[in-house]
């Protein structure tokens, strides 16, 4: 494969889209051996066809705030690849959202969804709308205006959106209400729905539980567990919340959480009472990180920094892309980190990943480690199709099995000669092979 030429062509077509180019480069670099061993992929133009989205849709979203002021945001949906199933992936509402970010997320989603073992293609969408500080009514009006355009593009067997940053249960409710009205159907076109109207138990916790189960599988290969381990999380959104619960349940001590303005270091670790306190703050749309240090006085708030300077055994970044750089990775390694499991999508920069690889750290890339969220979305779709609901235990057991199967796929495809498991390579190769073979079977379309 002519990696540098492919990248140069892609850059020419997508100038300045740094996150998208970063994600494609990371995947293609690890596929070089696989592609040279399988000339049929190049003959069928699989790489060129895979790195370009099937369809990119942008639309205007106009809405009126509580003071009758009119706002115009931009809405997007990137339908990347549907070789193994309908387009599937979350919606992100954040002021930083642009096409580069959504294309990187949609591209990653192809491989992640393939790894889940479920029939799901890859997509992503969202808007540059900022939900921070908005009233429930403003959120509702925005979601309704967004869905007024999006509904034409999606469907239970076409494209199934879900949550991501800034889109949780409340937003999915408002989006679904409008979808159902326009489509005149009550079907599983969105996931992350409320449990009383088609949602799955465990979906809110699934990404955080899954990233912890994946770390547990990695630790197992060294004969270790979470018991007594010091764990650092970043963010405190949907993913970090689920991870905090599961890590604590498994005997680990979560000593950090963070927000855009800094991090909390709590040497005593989170517990159920502290997690409930954080959840209440989150539900009230407040700044959650600083008030924690006023309530629990042993904890300190460190302004303007990431938590990676704290000594920890296991790091679980759960906030956003490129939040852990080379210097952070070096500090973590110096402080004895043994395992990094990515809850967020692409939170570690390529240079940080190199540091983990050189030091033979157990490093689980997001497309494998955080696949539990979309996996339970897939299980929600299954339950919707059957018009049945499974128990918590049933969904959790399936989630654990899926995370364990993803780990096995990474080991099978990523083990190097010296026995070290290169998890990113394993995840990329396993995710790619299923999609590439499906594309071969289906001809040039």
Residues that bind ligand NDP (CB under 6 A): 163-166, 168, 207, 235-239, 259-260, 318-320, 343-345, 370, 373
Q: Would you say 240 or 332 has its CB closer to ligand 2IT?
A: 240
Q: Is 81 one of the binding residues for ligand 2IT (CB under 6 A)?
A: no
Q: Supply φ then ψ for residue 186, to 5 degrees.
A: -110, 90
Element (H, E) at 373: helix 372-386
Closest approach, Cβ 335 to ligand 2IT, in A, equals 29
Question: 344 contacts which partner out of ligand NDP, ligand 2IT, none, CB within 5 to 8 A by kind?
Answer: ligand NDP
State how far the alpha carbon of 419 is from the alpha carbons of 69, 246, 373, 422, 431, in Å.
Answer: 61, 29, 30, 9, 21
Measured at the CA of 223, the angle between CA 217 and CA 229, to 5 degrees, comes to 75
Neighbours of 204 (CB within 10 A): 20
34, 191, 248, 383: which one binds ligand 2IT (CB under 6 A): 191
| Beta strand 70-81 pairing with 55-64 | antiparallel
Query: Which string of DSSP letters, residue by residue, matches 292-352?
Result: HHHHSTT-EEEET--GGGS--SEEE--S-TT-B-HHHHHHHHHTT--EEE--SSS-B-HHH
Q: 319, 238 in Cβ contact below 8 A?
A: no
Question: 89 contacts which partner out of ligand 2IT, ligand NDP, none, CB within 5 to 8 A by kind?
Answer: ligand 2IT
Question: 191 contacts which partner out of ligand 2IT, ligand NDP, none, CB within 5 to 8 A by kind?
Answer: ligand 2IT
| Candidate ranges 86-94, 216-224, 295-303, 334-342; the one touching ligand 2IT (CB under 6 A) | 86-94
Q: Is 374 one of the binding residues for ligand 2IT (CB under 6 A)?
A: yes
Closest approach, Cβ 219 to ligand NDP, in A, equals 21
Q: Would you say 82 or 191 has its CB closer to ligand 2IT?
A: 191
Residues in a beta bridge with 63: 71
Q: 320, 347 in Cβ contact below 8 A?
A: yes
What's the CA dihedral at 343, 344, 350, 352 to 10 degrees? Answer: -60
Q: Would you say 173 or 252 has its CB closer to ligand 2IT?
A: 173
The number of angstroms, rounded, from the C-alpha of 69 to the middle of its chain's C-alpha atoms is: 34
Binding mask 95-134 for ligand 2IT (x = CB under 6 A): -----------------x----------------------
Closest approach, Cβ 189 to ligand 2IT, in A, equals 12
Q: Would you say 51 or 318 has its CB closer to ligand NDP?
A: 318
Q: Would you say 167 or 429 has its CB closer to ligand NDP?
A: 167
Closest approach, Cβ 285 to ligand NDP, in A, equals 9
| Candidate ranges 26-34, 83-91, 354-362, 410-418; the one touching ligand 2IT (CB under 6 A) | 83-91
Q: 316, 247 in Cβ contact below 8 A?
A: yes
Question: 88 contacts which partner out of ligand NDP, ligand 2IT, none, CB within 5 to 8 A by kind?
Answer: ligand 2IT
Q: Position of tokens 């409320």?
A: 194
- Alpha-carbon gap, residue 316 to 347, rounded angstroms: 10
Closest approach, Cβ 279 to ligand NDP, in A, equals 11
Q: What is the 3-state secondary structure (H, E, C) of 64-81?
A: ECCCCCEEEEEEEEEEEE
Q: 313, 341 in Cβ contact below 8 A?
A: no
Q: 378, 405 in Cβ contact below 8 A?
A: no
Q: What residues numbered 313-352 form the site for ligand 2IT, per CB under 6 A?
A: 345
Q: Would you say 35 or 165 has its CB closer to ligand NDP?
A: 165
Tell me, by CB under 6 A, how many residues bind ligand 2IT: 11
Q: Would you say 192 or 259 has its CB closer to ligand 2IT?
A: 192
Question: 154 contacts which partner out of ligand 2IT, ligand NDP, none, CB within 5 to 8 A by kind?
Answer: none
Question: 237 contacts which partner out of ligand 2IT, ligand NDP, none, CB within 5 to 8 A by kind?
Answer: ligand NDP
- State the catalytic residues: 124
| Beta strand 314-316 pairing with 339-341 | parallel
79, 216, 256, 377: which one binds ligand 2IT (CB under 6 A): 377
State how far the alpha carbon of 137 is from the alpha carbons of 65, 158, 164, in Å.
Answer: 8, 30, 20
Q: 434, 112 in Cβ contact below 8 A?
A: no
Q: 275, 241 in Cβ contact below 8 A?
A: yes
Closest approach, Cβ 89 to ligand 2IT, in A, equals 5
Q: Which residue is nearest to ligand 2IT (CB)?
A: 90
Question: 329 contacts which partner out of ligand 2IT, ligand NDP, none, CB within 5 to 8 A by kind?
Answer: none
Q: Would you say 34 or 258 has its CB closer to ligand NDP?
A: 258
**Would you give the DSSP letter of residue 38?**
-
State how far the alpha carbon of 181 is from the alpha carbons of 56, 59, 146, 174, in Å.
Answer: 25, 20, 14, 11
Residues in contact with ligand 2IT by the rule CB under 6 A: 88-90, 112, 162, 164, 191, 345, 373-374, 377
């Amino acid at each position: 494969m002519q990696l540098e030429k492919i990248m140069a062509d892609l850059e020419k077509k997508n100038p300045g889209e740094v996150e998208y180019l970063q994600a494609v480069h990371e995947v293609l670099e690890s596929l070089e051996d696989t592609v040279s061993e399988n000339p049929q992929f190049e003959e069928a133009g699989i790489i060129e066809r895979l790195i370009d989205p099937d369809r990119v849709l942008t639309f205007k979203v106009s809405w009126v705030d509580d003071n009758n002021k009119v706002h115009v945001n931009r809405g997007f949906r990137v339908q990347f690849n549907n070789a193994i199933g309908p387009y599937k992936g979350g919606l992100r509402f954040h002021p930083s959202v642009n096409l580069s970010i959504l294309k990187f997320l949609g591209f990653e989603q192809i491989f992640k969804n393939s790894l889940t073992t479920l029939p799901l293609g890859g997509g992503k969408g969202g808007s540059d709308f900022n939900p921070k500080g908005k009233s429930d009514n403003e959120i509702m009006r925005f979601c309704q205006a967004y869905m007024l355009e999006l509904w034409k593009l999606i469907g239970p067997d076409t494209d199934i959106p879900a949550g991501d940053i800034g889109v949780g249960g409340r937003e999915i409710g408002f989006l679904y209400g409008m979808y159902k009205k326009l489509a005149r159907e009550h079907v599983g076109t969105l996931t992350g729905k409320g449990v009383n109207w088609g949602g799955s138990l465990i979906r809110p916790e699934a990404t955080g539980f899954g990233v912890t189960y994946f770390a547990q599988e990695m630790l197992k290969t060294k004969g270790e567990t979470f018991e007594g381990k010091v764990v650092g999380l970043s963010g405190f959104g949907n993913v970090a919340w689920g991870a905090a619960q599961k890590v604590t349940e498994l005997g680990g001590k979560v000593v950090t959480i963070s927000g855009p303005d800094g991090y909390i270091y709590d040497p005593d670790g989170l517990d159920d009472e502290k997690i409930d306190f954080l959840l209440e703050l989150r539900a009230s749309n407040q700044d959650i990180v600083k008030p924690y240090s006023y309530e629990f006085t042993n904890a300190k708030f460190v302004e303007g920094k990431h938590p990676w300077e704290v000594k920890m055994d296991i790091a679980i970044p759960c906030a956003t892309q490129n939040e852990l750089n080379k210097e952070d990775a070096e500090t973590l390694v110096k402080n004895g980190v043994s395992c990094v499991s990515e809850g967020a999508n692409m939170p570690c920069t390529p240079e940080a990943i190199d540091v983990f690889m050189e030091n033979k750290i157990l490093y689980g890339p997001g497309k494998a480690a955080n696949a539990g969220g979309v996996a339970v979305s897939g299980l929600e779709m299954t339950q919707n199709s059957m018009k049945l609901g499974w128990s918590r235990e049933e969904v959790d057991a399936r989630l654990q099995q899926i995370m364990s199967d993803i780990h096995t796929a990474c080991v099978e495809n990523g083990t190097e000669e010296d026995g070290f498991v290169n998890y990113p390579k394993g995840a990329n190769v396993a995710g790619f092979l299923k999609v590439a073979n499906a594309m071969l079977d289906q001809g040039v379309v």
